[in-house]
Structure 1
Amino acid sequence: MAVQRSSRPALSRPLRLLVLAACLAPPFAWSQAQAPSTPPATACPLQPRYPLPADRSDLQKLATAQQAAADERGCLTNAAFHAWRGATLLALGRTAEAIEPLERALLHDPDLPGAQLDLAQALAAEGDTASARAFLAHMRQRSDLPLPIGQVIDRQLEILSLPTPLANVLTAGWQSRWQFSAMGGSETNLNNAPSSSEVTLTFPQGDVTLPLDVESRPRSGGATLGVVQWQGLRPWNESVLVVQAEFKARQTGDSETSYQQSDVAATWLDAPAASRQWVARVARSHLRYGGTSLLRATRATLQYQWEARERTEASPWSEVLAGCRPAASLELEHRGYPESRVLDGLYQGGAAGWLCRRSMVGRGIEALTANTFFYGAQARLGSDRPLQAARAGGAYRRAEVRAQWEGPWLGGRVGAQWSTTRQRDRTPYSPLLGNVPRSTIRHVLQLEASWPLTESLALVANAEISRQSSNLAVFDARQRSVYMGLRWEVMQ
């Protein structure tokens, strides 16, 4: 009997991929092909294989083979097989037929996350938005769910409650988000000047200490900061494409200390539904400072992500690391300085770290969002090779350690990030500066907080404290900044 479809909005296709790939976050540590909790006595003649065929005719042949094997003894109680069959029917657009095998999969393994997401999508497509919301709300309570993915689930829950015309617009094609921020504040070093008031030069006759010109010393003052951000998600067969763009402008009372910065990046996730996957990313940045094109950088990253750790009783760190996903990457970056080509360089390096998320128990979607904690750590090591031999200091080695945390605070959310970066040249920087290799260490603490005023408007504040020390005093620097303003968010 044909199923009468409702005009209620369906979840975006495929929801599983969009949720898993949201906001460049690590994907779920779950595989749709996860083994059933109780293996059948007889093996199923068809074993789940991902990704699904991209060609529709091959997909149809697979659905026919799955239908023929559905009543085999070894397949009847195989949750992974039924979830696989349901995913195939969903990919063919046969949402009504997909519901039965997906429900059967969850009957044998209620915690199979891939099947939960697919069933929510199928139910929404058939007009049963109440059940779809219930499944998504259940998914939202998982302790190993990364924060950005939870935010996308929240958005899908909001979409299901919207009037039909608007929801249909939001669920078609690209899923995107705009953010507009306007802030005002002050900084203690608008011109990024050295903190020292004098410089010591080395001559054959001996050292000479000279005072720095007043214009070369740190300038403090007020500034306004405007930021526009766009982020888009789009499925591509079994993969997901994520595109991000940001434009930031700081305006001060002096054009020499104002700047404009633009960044654009594209990220490809090859199999977000899998427990492990490759992630490739390319990015481009441009910085104009004081009316001059100061820096143009192009970056490429190839990352591998492992499945998230599960909670065990054996280790005291089990509770802290539960839901943490390890990742390692290779990085390549070309840095160009249009006004001083001798500084151009090519950076090569690697990074490794963890990305973790925990949720405290709460009632309702709002409580779940408010009680989410996010934390992680990363270590990076690499070297920058000059493209011209005349660059002062030659090649340099750079090492960085970074840690971050985010959680609820006073009805809003607060985040903190700490980084320490060490850099050392391989050759002496300059005969006039002691003829020794330059060595620097930089510490940066960043704080950010937001409090919602309405569904789309929030009060935001951020602060930054940085300190750079060097064996060459001319590279010592200090900076503090505080900004506060409003952020407006628009979903499309």
Structure 2
Amino acid sequence: MPASHSAACCLLTFSALACAVSALAAEVVPEVRAVNLTPEDTCPAALFGASLPKGKDAIRTQLVQLSPWAQACDMRADFHAYRGALLLSAGWPQDAAISLEKALLLNPELPGAQLDFAQALAQQGQGTPARELVRQVAERSDIQPDLKHWLQDGLVQGASLQTLAATANAIPDRGWNWSSLMQSSMGHESNLASATHTTSLTLYLASGPVEVPLADSERPKAGAAVKMLVATQGLRKLGDGELRLNLALQGRRAEGATLANNQLAEGFAAYAHPLGPGVLQGAWGAHSFSQPGVYSYKDQVFSLKYEPSWRFGDCKSSIAHSLTAQRYLSAPSLDGTYQQLRLEAGCGPAEKTGIDASTETIWGLTTGRDTPSNTNRPGGNKHRVEAYARHERNMVLPLSNRQGRLTAWYRYSVSQDERVFSGLLGIDPTRTHRQDGGLGYWLPIRQAWSAGVDVESTSQKSTNTLLNIKNLTTYVGLRWALN
């Protein structure tokens, strides 16, 4: 066998070993719970060593809680070990390696930190030092027998990926891990029913163009509204991968504007499994949106996503393909199938440049084609291109000593019909430009509770004047999250 091929097999073998070890590493460290303390206190022992939270949101929240203690706990090995484990679970092996290495410099006898450090090295392609770390842990006398035998079996020369996968399946199933969220918001919108800003419509009749003014009832209406959101997420180990479930319900009510009332329900199921140098995820989802008595829409989404484990600097990327079966219950002639290709990159943190570990930036680009179920659908095939960006970071507001979460996002899309929508509206196919953006800031006020504000802006311009829409929304609310 060529040397390069042997080295690659060895690296892949160890990567599988290291990823599975992370499920057991937490058992090496005594389990304690995070507590709410103020930065003025000394570094609290109860802040570190707990079992890792499940889900990226819970991990991010935990990193936020640790951030104010960075200076006070700088000489605590358990602080850096726990923070490194969180960064590793969040998918940031380079930054995890920095924290874990510091933990081991302060206390070289932390087996959990050694295993996490080995995994971080393996994910960065440093197979030899990572394998040596695992060997050292396997030879320790204070390691649980089951873990010791498992590590030794994985280090046997020539062990295959199939053998390691079978061993990993022997790890006890810890069952479902659930997190839930409830949010209530009250605010104001400048266009509650997303009505057109056009004051009149030009119809192209055989006798010539005729301008028809729109009734006041068709114009935008501003007013107050209330929104409610309930969501839950479940994670469970299944084989070598992970099963994920998401459910969400959202409703909006506006006083004196029946057309503004709407309901949204969505469900999502996905299975993520290691494949080559990364993770492959298959997913199915369903959505339902309705404005009672006015509009009703449903769809089903099937998607495949691949996320390589390698990174460019502090960024990781993914590619996904999805197919959406769309059903417009109130207008069946608009039914169709939308196929989309999405490229995405997520960056952060970067401790070496001083950026907060909780900072995250996501960029994405999608392109898709909407094919009608009925060949006579107005507009025919539709093409769409979309670019978006999202940035999140911790921020302390002026005159406040508490750290909250700031979110900023922007999305721009262009859609183009292949055929004329209606001869009465003109002879050119519809082309639409849309811009959406928003800012949000949420501040923890007590355990599991936070308060915040969200501001969003929408601007849509189209060659079909009925699709010219603007809206500005501002909501304040309370959020309860349980992880």
Asked if Structure 1 and Structure 2 have the same fold, meaning a TM-score greater than 0.5 normalized by the shorter chain, the answer is yes
Q: Distance in 2 between matches of 1:85 and 1:97?
A: 16
Aligned partner of residue 424 in structure 2, secondary structure:
helix
| Aligned with 1:80 (options 116, 128, 131) | 131
User: What is the total number of aligned residue pairs between the two structures?
Assistant: 354
How big is the alpha-carbon RMSD for the aligned residues of Structure 1 and Structure 2? 3.8
Q: Are 2:174 and 2:237, in contact at CA under 8 Å, matched by a contact in 1?
A: no
The residue aligned with 1:286 is 288
The residue aligned with 1:488 is 480
The residue aligned with 1:450 is 442
Q: Distance in 2 between matches of 1:81 and 1:269?
A: 29
| Aligned with 2:464 (options 472, 488, 492) | 472
Q: Distance in 1 between matches of 2:458 and 2:295?
A: 24
Q: Are 2:225 and 2:254, in contact at CA under 8 Å, matched by a contact in 1?
A: yes
> What whole-Å deviation, never above 9, does each CA across 1:139-159 have from its counterpart, x for those lacking one?
xxxxxxxxxxxxxxxxxxxxx
Q: Distance in 1 between matches of 2:129 and 2:182?
A: 48
1:471 corresponds to which letter in structure 2? Answer: T
The residue aligned with 2:19 is none
1:7-86 aligned within 5 A: 28=91, 79-80=130-131, 83=134
Aligned partner of residue 348 in structure 2, secondary structure:
strand
Name the CA shift for 1:436/1:455 in 2 (closer, same or farther; >3 Å).
Answer: same
How far the C-alpha of 1:29 sits from its partner, in A, is: 6.7
Q: Does 1:461 align with 2:447?
A: no
1:420-439 aligned within 5 A: 420-439=412-431
Aligned partner of residue 192 in structure 1, secondary structure:
coil
> What whole-Å deviation, never above 9, does each CA across 1:190-220 have from its counterpart, x for those lacking one?
1111111111111122111111111111111
The residue aligned with 1:60 is none
1:346-385 aligned within 5 A: 346-358=337-349, 360=351, 371-385=357-371
State TM-score, norm by structure 1.
0.65
State TM-score, norm by structure 2.
0.66
The residue aligned with 2:42 is none
How far the C-alpha of 1:380 sits from its partner, in A, is: 0.5
Name the CA shift for 1:490/1:439 in 2 (closer, same or farther; >3 Å).
Answer: same
1:266 corresponds to which letter in structure 2? Answer: A
Q: Distance in 2 between matches of 1:447 and 1:386?
A: 35
Q: Distance in 1 between matches of 2:371 and 2:347?
A: 34
Q: Distance in 2 between matches of 1:100 and 1:207?
A: 84
Q: Are 1:423 and 1:439, in contact at CA under 8 Å, matched by a contact in 2?
A: yes
Q: Distance in 2 between matches of 1:306 and 1:6?
A: 29
How far the C-alpha of 1:323 sits from its partner, in A, is: 2.2
> What whole-Å deviation, never above 9, does each CA across 1:396-427 have from its counterpart, x for those lacking one?
10000011101112220111110101000001
The residue aligned with 1:344 is 335
| Aligned with 2:252 (options 250, 253, 265) | 250
1:2-401 aligned within 5 A: 28=91, 79-80=130-131, 83=134, 95-98=144-147, 172-253=174-255, 254-271=257-274, 275-292=277-294, 294-310=296-312, 322-358=313-349, 360=351, 371-401=357-387
How far the C-alpha of 1:10 sits from its partner, in A, is: 9.4
Q: Distance in 2 between matches of 1:99 and 1:10?
A: 24
Aligned partner of residue 201 in structure 2, secondary structure:
strand
How far the C-alpha of 1:101 sits from its partner, in A, is: 8.3
Name the CA shift for 1:445/1:290 in 2 (closer, same or farther; >3 Å).
Answer: same
Q: Are 1:30 and 1:275, in contact at CA under 8 Å, matched by a contact in 2?
A: no
Aligned partner of residue 406 in structure 1, secondary structure:
strand
Q: Distance in 2 between matches of 1:16 and 1:7?
A: 11
How far the C-alpha of 1:325 sits from its partner, in A, is: 0.8
Q: Are 1:26 and 1:325, in contact at CA under 8 Å, matched by a contact in 2?
A: no
**Structure 2, gaps ≥5 residues long:** 1-26, 34-50, 61-87, 95-127, 155-170, 397-402
How far the C-alpha of 1:22 sits from its partner, in A, is: 8.1
How far the C-alpha of 1:292 sits from its partner, in A, is: 4.8
Q: Distance in 1 between matches of 2:192 and 2:129?
A: 63
**Structure 1, gaps ≥5 residues long:** 32-76, 88-93, 106-121, 126-170, 311-321
Q: Are 1:356 and 1:374, in contact at CA under 8 Å, matched by a contact in 2?
A: yes
Q: Distance in 2 between matches of 1:210 and 1:458?
A: 49
Name the CA shift for 1:431/1:86 in 2 (closer, same or farther; >3 Å).
Answer: farther
Name the CA shift for 1:85/1:301 in 2 (closer, same or farther; >3 Å).
Answer: farther
Aligned partner of residue 80 in structure 1, secondary structure:
helix
Q: Are 2:270 and 2:284, in contact at CA under 8 Å, matched by a contact in 1?
A: yes
Higher relative contact order by CA 8 Å / sep ≥ 6: 1 or 2? 1
